[in-house]
Amino acid sequence: MSIKVARKESASRFLGLVVNKTVFLTAIAAIIFTVGFTLIFEEQADYYFGMAQTFVSAHGGWIYTLVVNLFIVFCLYMAFSKFGKIRIGGHKAKPEFSLWAWFAMLFSAGIGNGLVLFSIADPVRDFLNPPRLAGHEPALIAQEAINFSFLHHGIHGWAIYSVVGLSLAYFTFNRKMPLTLRSAFYPLLGNRIHGWMGDLIDIMAVITTLFGLATTIGFGVGQINSGLTHVFGIPSSLFYQVLIILGVTLAATISAFSGVNKGVQMLSKLNVRVASAIFLLVLILGPTTFIFKSYIQNIGSYLVHFIDMSTWTESLQGTDWQKTRTIMYWGWWISWSPFVGTFIARISKGRTIKEFILCVLILPALVTFLWFSAFGGTTMRDILLGDTAMIAAVNDNISTALYVFFDKFPLAMLLKVLGVILICSFIITSADSGALVVDSITSGGKLKTPRYQRVIWAVAIGVIASVLMYGGGLNALQTVVTISGLPFAILLVLMCFSLYRGMTEDYEKAERKEKLLERESYRKNILDLVNKEREEKNLKKIDPDKDPDKQPKITDL
């Protein structure tokens, strides 16, 4: 089912670039203003952004809770309804990438260094500051800490990515529209997406993508620096962190220049291979049996408490735990969704909707749960046995927690080196795929643009991260990214309605066309039979001897 929609060309030449000037210039101006404000008025920015975050958490937290659960329901409906058999790009479309390469790229773009940074820190922090079980048995608190880590890094987040990714993939490859967020709203807005409404949607996507990537890279660089301190004794300082950002930016620039088929795909496969090597070493050198038992138990406990945790809003407790945990994560996932969703859409041509949903929604979550069970679960076990080293490490600096964890294993130095490589690779993958996505949005959804445009955005991400790290504005900007998720959540709900309407329209058109073809085929068959009968009658009139009924019959004697 592939239907082409009339489109207006929004990209034009500007200073040698192929861009939508409104989106490009407005996004650049907004970025410069926001970065400048957080640097010049850092204390005021922290204060006002903090107030905004408190307000959003207090009055908009229930909206986050509601919509992220609705996204799961919507995705499962799409997978198992009549739409599940639709193929992205039409029924003849073939996947551009192998299943292995596709999964590696979507996993690397969607998880990033958060998998490494929070797999130990989150369970420990939630154990020390329990959301609901303060004063209960430590083993129960430890299990709930794992459960909430699964909640924050599991199916809900990937449902957000699935909504954006599926919407953009469908309208890009099935309706032949530009790969940009505005396209997903065509069934609701019609040709108005080519005006200021569409520009506003794309501007929001560009700004949140760049700020989300910049803050993530800024905080990830701290973990790289901590790893280099542990492994090579390099001091942890702003100077070295800026050097690391420059190195990451250079690598991301080279990868972005080479494109999706080369640089991004290669780095994504490297991510999965290095992560697999680290996990296997931890599994073999660590408590193997416990990790597998923990994985099974953790998934079971997560599923049992799934609805309870997913809909918990602190309404009776009167606490603000969710402000810095659940609400922060939902805002972060949603703020990343324009970037990750666009990238997933870009690489998903040829997949059926059912295959897309089940792979994007379930597989990355299962891998994440296994990783958290190995790292976070083992840490919880050690804490319950009286080892408080990880508590001290997390309280001191969560960036060093992974390396302190590796100190407990044989081949600790090898694990630390692999850890540094993995974090670097994750950050580079995020930066270069982010550059490709921003380039696509600002160019009006073009899949092929001059290569130097990708380089510009890769450098911009590194510059934003470096400036904010130098000026101390990363914390304020992280809060901005979290707050910006709320209006985007409403936008994504509208995206769900738009996708459903668009698919329903196309499905009904395809059904009418199929019925019309069936009627035409039936009519043709009837005409063929009538014509054949007429030909036989005419043949009898012309040559009666050829009448089958008058032919001599041969009987057995």
Distance between CA 103 and CA 365 in Å, rounded? 12
Q: HSE-up of 280 (CA within 13 Å, CB side)? A: 6
Cβ neighbours of 519 (radius 10 Å): 10
The confidence score (pLDDT) of residue 557 equals 37
User: How remote is the C-alpha of 198 from its chain's centroid?
Assistant: 22
Please name the helix (run of DSSP H) or strand (run of DSSP E) that holds residue 14, with its range, or none: strand 12-14
- By the 10 Å C-beta count (0-12 exposed, 13-18 middle, 19+ buried), 8 is classed as exposed
Residue 32 pLDDT exceeds 90: no
Q: What's the pLDDT tens digit per position in 421-451? A: 888 888 888 888 788 888 888 887 776 777 7
User: How remote is the C-alpha of 362 from its chain's centroid?
Assistant: 12
The confidence score (pLDDT) of residue 472 equals 65
Map tokens 């997903």 to a residue.
184
Nearest to 347 by CA among 86, 85, 102, 94: 102
**Does residue 500 sit within a domain?**
yes
pTM of the model: 0.86
Q: What's the pLDDT tens digit per position in 98-157? A: 888 888 888 777 776 678 888 999 999 999 999 888 778 999 999 999 999 999 999 999
Q: What's the pLDDT tens digit per position in 255-274? A: 766 665 566 777 778 888 88
The confidence score (pLDDT) of residue 103 equals 84
Average pLDDT over residues 470-494: 76
**Does residue 6 sit within a domain?**
no
- Domain extent for 266: 13-521
Nearest to 375 by CA among 414, 419, 332, 413: 419
**Does residue 555 sit within a domain?**
no
**Does residue 383 sit within a domain?**
yes
If you write DSSP's letter for every residue of 114-127 in order, what string do you get?
A: HHHHHHHHHHHHHH
Token pair of 472 as six digits: 């101390």
**Residue 6 pLDDT level (bands cut at 50, 70, 90):** very low
Could you tell me which residues come within 8 angstroms of residue 327 by beta carbon, excluding any fewer than 6 positions away?
A: 56, 57, 61, 64, 482
Rg for the chain, CA atoms, rounded: 28
Nearest to 234 by CA among 403, 83, 361, 59: 403
Could you tell me which residues come within 8 angstroms of residue 347 by beta carbon, excluding any fewer than 6 positions away?
A: 96, 97, 102, 105, 106, 260
Average pLDDT over residues 311-328: 86
**Does residue 3 sit within a domain?**
no
> Contact at 8 Å (CB) between 109 and 430?
yes
> Domain total for the chain?
1
Q: Find the range with the poorest average confidence among 41-50, 113-122, 316-325.
A: 41-50
Q: What's the pLDDT tens digit per position in 164-223? A: 999 999 999 999 998 889 999 999 999 999 888 999 999 888 888 887 787 778 778 877
**Residue 542 pLDDT level (bands cut at 50, 70, 90):** low
Question: For all residues of the chain together, what is the average pLDDT?
Answer: 84
Burial 179-192 (b: 16+ CB within 10 A, else e): bbbbbbbbbbbeee
**Does residue 4 sit within a domain?**
no
Distance between CA 48 and CA 58 in Å, rounded? 15
**Does residue 540 sit within a domain?**
no
Average pLDDT over residues 469-475: 68
Residue of 474 and 487 predicted with greater confidence: 487
Please name the helix (run of DSSP H) or strand (run of DSSP E) that holds residue 13, with its range, or none: strand 12-14
Q: What's the pLDDT tens digit per position in 348-388? A: 999 999 999 999 999 999 999 999 999 999 999 999 999 88
Q: What is the CATH number of the domain that holds 434?
A: 1.20.1740
The confidence score (pLDDT) of residue 78 equals 95
∠ CA 426-483-469, rounded to 5°: 50
Range among 2-11, 154-163, 438-447 with highest mean pLDDT value: 154-163
Could you tell me which residues come within 8 angstroms of residue 198 by beta carbon, excluding any fewer than 6 positions away?
A: 10, 182, 185, 189, 192
The confidence score (pLDDT) of residue 556 equals 46
DSSP 324: G
Residue 227 pLDDT exceeds 90: no
Distance between CA 55 and CA 61 in Å, rounded? 9
Q: What's the pLDDT tens digit per position in 486-517? A: 888 899 999 999 999 999 998 888 888 777 77
**Does residue 552 sit within a domain?**
no
366 φ, ψ (degrees, to nearest 5):
-65, -40
User: How remote is the C-alpha of 305 from its chain's centroid?
Assistant: 24
Distance between CA 384 and CA 400 in Å, rounded? 21
User: How remote is the C-alpha of 239 from its chain's centroid?
Assistant: 32
